């Protein structure tokens, strides 16, 4: 359990739909669906998955350098 969250991806081989967003506290988050036809984004009974580590004040640890785009 880290930062109060104990979230793991399940059935990650079958997943094929992801949703990335920033929540109201400026955390980059992710949710997923196992199949595109599923009605609900997982994690239904838990908060979305946090993508970044936390600073000591529990805020998101933001990049401190200029990021390069990923080539196609």
**The dihedral of CA 6, 11, 12, 17: what is its sign?**
negative
pTM: 0.52
Q: Can you give the residue range of the structural domain that contains 27? A: 1-72
Note the pLDDT tens digit of each residue in 5-34: 556 666 556 556 888 888 888 888 888 887
Query: Which among 25, 18, 32, 20 is positioned nearest to 62, based on CA atoms?
Result: 25
Look at 54 and 6; give whichever has higher pLDDT: 54
Average pLDDT in the chain? 75
Note the pLDDT tens digit of each residue in 30-49: 888 877 788 888 766 667 77
Work out the burial of residue 32: count CB atoms within 10 Å of its CB; fewer than 13 is exposed, 13-18 middle, 19 or more buried: buried
Number of domains into which the chain is organized: 1
How many Å is the Cα radius of gyration of the chain? 14
Residue 42, number of CB atoms within 10 A of its CB = 19
């Amino acid at each position: 359990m880290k930062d109060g969250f104990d979230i793991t991806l399940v059935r990650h081989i079958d997943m094929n739909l992801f949703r990335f967003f920033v929540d109201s506290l400026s955390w980059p988050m992710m949710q997923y669906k196992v199949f595109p036809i599923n009605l609900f984004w997982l994690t239904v009974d838990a908060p979305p998955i946090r993508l970044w580590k936390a600073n000591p004040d529990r805020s998101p640890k933001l990049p401190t350098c200029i990021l390069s785009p990923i080539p196609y």
